[in-house]
Amino acid sequence: MTQTDVQAQTASLAAAGVRMLIIGPPGSGKGTQAARISERLGIVAISTGDIFRANVKERTPLGIEAKSYMDAGDFVPDSVTNNMVRERLAQADVAGGFLLDGYPRTTAQVEELDAILAAGSTSLDLVLQLTADHEELVRRLLSRAAEEGRTDDNESVIRHRLDLYTQQTSAVVKEYAGRGILVEVDGIGAIDEVTDRVMAAMARVIERQA
């Protein structure tokens, strides 16, 4: 694929105002690719972690409620998370498209997101899943842990995190695959190469929908 092809695909996606999710295991480069997609397409990147932190910091009613659960060491209920996402997706900057990271994590949240978007007469265009060989991810995460001096991030912990990711996301991935909007892209390789793969794969999905 030439650089001209990539630029053309990027321009086409930017014009489409894509509404999308990104899913990927730890170490797959999801955060890096999310930032690149957001920048290239001019769409806002929204992570549930950012939503939580903003609500807690600003002491919104939802933030105060969420903090009470977190301080007690409990999971924040879906109802609170759903309401935070609903409020965020109602803001003006998502009108031209968005990239959602970290939500939905369950099929119940998938249904809730469907309802949130349907209320605004919109729907998801695609779900990008970054894939990677687990052994490569283990090597990558162990290397990162060593560089950052994170002695608690050992091989056993890393493998457990990867297994949890697979368990937690399998139903969501299956749901979106059944809708024909899931696109899988190999997340291993040079950052620019992965980004080009992502843009090409996303463009093919959007073209099919046109």
Q: What are the Cα distances from residue 23, in Å, to 34, 63, 169, 210?
A: 10, 25, 8, 24
88 is catalytic: no
30 annotated binding-site participant: yes
Is residue 19 annotated as part of the catalytic site, yes or no? no
State yes or no: 161 annotated in a binding site.
yes
DSSP letter, residue 210: -
Give the burial class of 149: count Cβ atoms within 10 A of its Cβ; 0-12 exposed, 13-18 middle, 19 or more buried: exposed
Would residue 150 show up in a list of annotated catalytic residues for this protein? yes
Which H or E run contains 204? helix 191-209
Of the residues 67, 86, 139, 144, only one is catalytic, namely: 144
Question: Known catalytic residue: 197?
Answer: no
How does DSSP assign 78-91, residue by residue? HHHHHHHHHHHHTS
75 is in an annotated binding site: yes
Q: Is 140 a catalytic residue?
A: no
Is position 63 annotated in a ligand binding site? Answer: no
Q: Is 48 annotated as a binding residue?
A: yes
CA angle at 170 for the pair 166 and 173, rounded to the nearest 5°: 125
Q: Is 109 a known ligand-binding residue?
A: yes
User: Which one from 57, 59, 150, 208 is the annotated catalytic residue?
Assistant: 150
150 known member of a binding site = yes
Give the residue ranges of the annotated binding site for AMP.
48, 53, 74-76, 102-105, 109, 150, 161
Give the residue ranges of the annotated binding site for ATP.
27-32, 144, 189
Give the residue ranges of the annotated binding site.
27-32, 48, 53, 74-76, 102-105, 109, 144, 150, 161, 189
Residues annotated as catalytic are 30, 105, 144, 150, 161
